[in-house]
Amino acid sequence: MSDVSNSGDTAPAATGLWLAIKKVASRLQDWFVIQSVLVKLAVLAIVILIPASGIYSFTLIQKQAAVAEQVKTMSVTTEAGEGVWTLNDQLPVVFGTGSMLRFLATNPVERVTVIYTPLMWNVSERIILIESQGKQFAYYPSDMETKIFTDKAVTAPWSGKLAFIPRAELSDSGQELMARLDLRFADARPQSEKDGWKAGVSGVLSAALTFGLLAFLYVQFKGQFKSLKFVEPTQVLGSIDELVGMDDIKAEVAQIKDQYQRRAAYAEYGINKPFNVMFSGPAGTGKTKLASYLARELKLPILFHSAANLETGYVAGGSNTLSRILAMAKRRRRCIVFLDEAQDLFMKRGGRRKFDDDTANTLLSVLDGVRSKDDAEIIWIVASNFNSETMQMDEAMLRRFQMKVDFRMPNREERLAIIGHYLARRADKVLPDLDLRHLAAVTEGRSPADLETIVNQAGITAVQAGEMIGAETLMQAAERVLVGNVNSHTTEERERDRRIIAVHEWGHFLVDFEHERKLANGDWEQLLADIKTIKISLKANARTNALGFVFHKQGANLLKTKGDIEHDVRVLLGGMANEELFFGEQGTTNGAHNDITRVTELLHHAVGEMGMYRKTRLNFGALGRGGRDGGREVDEETRSIMEAQSERLYGETKAVLDKFKPLTEHLVGKLLAAGEMNLSEAILEIRRFEAA
């Protein structure tokens, strides 16, 4: 935050008001620049109409005030005591013939009484009674006569004998007289007075249309800026230094910053391509944060928009949105446009919905290398979860990007630093000297966003329990985030299902346990560190729709040998194999559905894609790719090899578990009683059983 001057109390308020005005003006300009010509003309017409109508209304109010003052003056009485604000109904009334103006010019006039009814603004209905020679001659002048009568009323001899009486102020006898005159003059009324009600309706309709159009523009304006809004660099919280770990990725971003700030120096070496940057990598790895921090470092406004929201379901909906974004960016000239979730735009064009290709084509033209000076300093950052190993990118799109930054999951040391960073924000609520190595191991393969969620969940749990954040709290939060919500009510009343689940889960665990024990050569400490299982539970997991689960950490090995793949298959088959050993082949359940699916995928990867168990090392799976889903066609030979290897590995798994039947029975009883057991408890029970 900026420092506030102490020179006066009004300075901060004035500065804040000025910034607010500038912000509103900027948003109005953004909205105006992306509209069509028709909308722009309509807005300009309304902008002109509003002050014009206001000035006109103000002028009429002034005139009405002046008339009211004159009427007030007319209401005074004469020296003889006769009121000029009254109608002389003692004289007979006759209908005048010929022209009213001629009659005034050729006959003596004692008094001219104008009885009027205001209709709207300067339109009124009037009947004129001219008192002459003991009678009152009634006239209903036309519009032309009224204008001439008004002009002559200032200098004519009868000008001092005028009296204006509102019809509503007449006495009962005067009202009866006017009713008779109305019948006589019904066909003589000027058209302007007959159409007075139409003018009123037209004015109301015009006002309604004006307000309706303003309301429409307001709704459109408000909705537009929910999705298209530039964020000023001063509004971005934090800095790039807060991104812990992943120094290689931050170095790439630093290169973008340097190239932008010293673009003239780079241009001398022929590097003058537009600033198009691709961020790709798993979700939650910090692509959006890094883009916002780059905007803060370069002091550039940034627009965030999801490419998934470009399509509106209408033809050219996405391309029109891109065009509006480009228009807003051009108005600023120096800015950053960040398009997130853009993996669909990177797919090869053709064979998809037409408006998908239209959007991709528009993006290609926007990112093109041939640009004007107005948009040469716009940085386009397009982020996606695109996986180049399983999906093919459009070559034309790939060539548009000057730089490609690949994001990755943090390693163990970086996870330790990230967890420590988030805990440091609430250091006064964290127990001292926490050992975070176990949590870092559990969260293998998890993104920084997952780690932040775990720490936040630990804080929520600590608040609810009224305690400090400790190692146990963090592990509970990790289980909540990584496994999901669990409950015991789903299975606690199903004794048969609980026993089957316990047998199934111990089958997975014991196969892995036997393998890791051989690798550890009987070293129990080493076994505890290497085995991936963290907890075995009989609680139902709504996320996987399972009645029990094994909470385990991910393996640290990115490269898997043939032996590693076979071990993974054996562990997956351990659940069904144990069910068969305890309940017979007819007693196996569909609880192993997910396990069998993963076994099929692993064996297809080994046989069909890696060429394992074959004489040749060929990837037949690549021949079936072509669509977005890369439809796999399993040939007969691959199928037979997969079935043979599955049968062999299943037999080996049953042989391992058959030796552990007494141990399994013991562990099942302990798990049914406890509901769940962690790794230390399981190893302790195994050691006790074997020692006995």
- What tens digit of pLDDT does each residue of 469-518 get? 988 889 888 888 877 776 665 555 567 778 888 899 899 999 999 998 88
- Residue 58 has a pLDDT of 66
d(CA 687, CA 517): 12
DSSP SS3 for 551: strand
CA 234: distance to chain centroid? 21
- Which amino acid belongs to residue 313? G
- Residue 384 has a pLDDT of 84
pLDDT band at 624 (very low <50, low <70, confident <90, very high): low
Measuring CA to CA, how many Å separate 199 from each of 52, 58, 79, 121, 163?
18, 19, 42, 10, 28
Fold of 412-483: Helicase, Ruva Protein; domain 3 (1.10.8)
Q: Taking phi first (over 0 means left), then psi (-120 to 50 degrees means alpha), and beta for anything else, what does residue 138 get?
A: beta
Radius of gyration of the chain (CA): 44
Per-residue model confidence as pLDDT tens digits over 546-566:
667 777 776 656 678 888 899
Q: What is the mean pLDDT of residues 599-624?
A: 81
Lowest model confidence (mean pLDDT) among 56-70, 92-106, 276-290, 553-567: 56-70
| Closest to 245 in 3D by CA, of 407, 405, 413 | 413
| Closest to 402 in 3D by CA, of 259, 304, 544 | 259
| Closest to 550 in 3D by CA, of 510, 587, 580 | 510
d(CA 199, CA 658): 99
Which of 120-124, 239-243, 685-689 is the most confident on average? 685-689
Structure tokens belonging to residue 494: 């199903």
Lowest model confidence (mean pLDDT) among 359-368, 458-467, 646-655: 359-368
Q: Maximum CA pair distance of the chain? A: 143
Lowest model confidence (mean pLDDT) among 129-143, 268-282, 353-367, 626-640: 626-640
Structure tokens belonging to residue 660: 């552990």
319 has pLDDT over 60:
yes
- Residue 194 has a pLDDT of 47
> Dihedral sign, CA of 11, 13, 16, 21?
negative
Class at the top of the CATH hierarchy for domain 230-406: alpha beta
Q: What is the mean pLDDT of residues 447-457?
A: 90
Residues facing residue 131 across a β-bridge: 111, 136
| Closest to 664 in 3D by CA, of 581, 556, 572 | 581
The pairing of beta strand 135-139 with beta strand 93-95 = parallel
d(CA 100, CA 147): 12
> Dihedral sign, CA of 164, 166, 172, 178?
positive
Q: What is the mean pLDDT of residues 407-416?
A: 87
Higher-confidence residue of 345 and 454: namely 454
CA 232: distance to chain centroid? 18
| Closest to 131 in 3D by CA, of 108, 152, 98 | 108
The answer to whether 380 touches 342, Cβ cutoff 8 Å, is no
| Closest to 109 in 3D by CA, of 158, 147, 74, 36 | 158
Higher-confidence residue of 581 and 26: namely 581
Q: What angle do CA 632, 397, 227 make, to 5 degrees?
A: 100
Structure tokens belonging to residue 416: 């330790």
Report phi then psi at 21, rounded to 5. -65, -45
Lowest model confidence (mean pLDDT) among 68-77, 131-140, 210-219, 446-455: 68-77
Q: What is the mean pLDDT of residues 362-391?
A: 72
Helices in 132-229 by DSSP H: which ranges?
143-152, 172-184, 191-194, 196-227
d(CA 585, CA 570): 18
Ordered by start, the domain boundaries in the chain are 81-187, 230-406, 412-483, 486-621+633-691
Q: Taking phi first (over 0 means left), then psi (-120 to 50 degrees means alpha), and beta for anything else, what does residue 94 get?
A: beta
**Stretch (H or E) spanning 115:** strand 111-120
Which of 261-265, 268-272, 367-371 is the most confident on average? 261-265
Contacts of 343 (CB under 8 A, 6+ apart): 384, 385, 386, 391
**Stretch (H or E) spanning 397:** helix 395-399
Lowest model confidence (mean pLDDT) among 5-14, 141-150, 287-296: 5-14
Structure tokens belonging to residue 478: 């990790």
Per-residue model confidence as pLDDT tens digits over 196-247:
445 455 556 667 667 776 776 666 556 555 567 788 888 888 777 777 877 8
Measuring CA to CA, how many Å separate 679 from each of 51, 156, 481, 527, 555?
78, 116, 19, 10, 16
Q: Which residues of 616-653 are buried (b: 16+ CB within 10 A; e: fewer)?
A: eeeebbeeebeeeeeeeeeeeebeebbeebbeebbebb
DSSP SS3 for 617: coil
Fold of 486-621+633-691: Methane Monooxygenase Hydroxylase; Chain G, domain 1 (1.20.58)
What DSSP state is assigned to residue 394?
Answer: P
Share of the chain above pLDDT 70, in %: 75
- Which amino acid belongs to residue 615? K
Lowest model confidence (mean pLDDT) among 79-83, 168-172, 568-572: 79-83
One-character DSSP codes across 460-494: HHHHHHTS-B-HHHHHHHHHHHHT--EESHHHHT-
d(CA 667, CA 501): 12
Q: What angle do CA 347, 350, 353 make, to 5 degrees?
A: 90
d(CA 605, CA 615): 16
Q: How far apart are the first and last CA of the chain?
A: 68
- Residue 367 has a pLDDT of 81
- Which amino acid belongs to residue 653? T
311 has pLDDT over 70:
no
The pairing of beta strand 403-406 with beta strand 533-537 = unpaired
Structure tokens belonging to residue 14: 């004035």
- Residue 205 has a pLDDT of 62
What DSSP state is assigned to residue 436?
Answer: -
Structure tokens belonging to residue 393: 């990118």
- Residue 251 has a pLDDT of 86
**H/E/C letters for each residue in 64-76?**
HHHHHHHHHHHCC
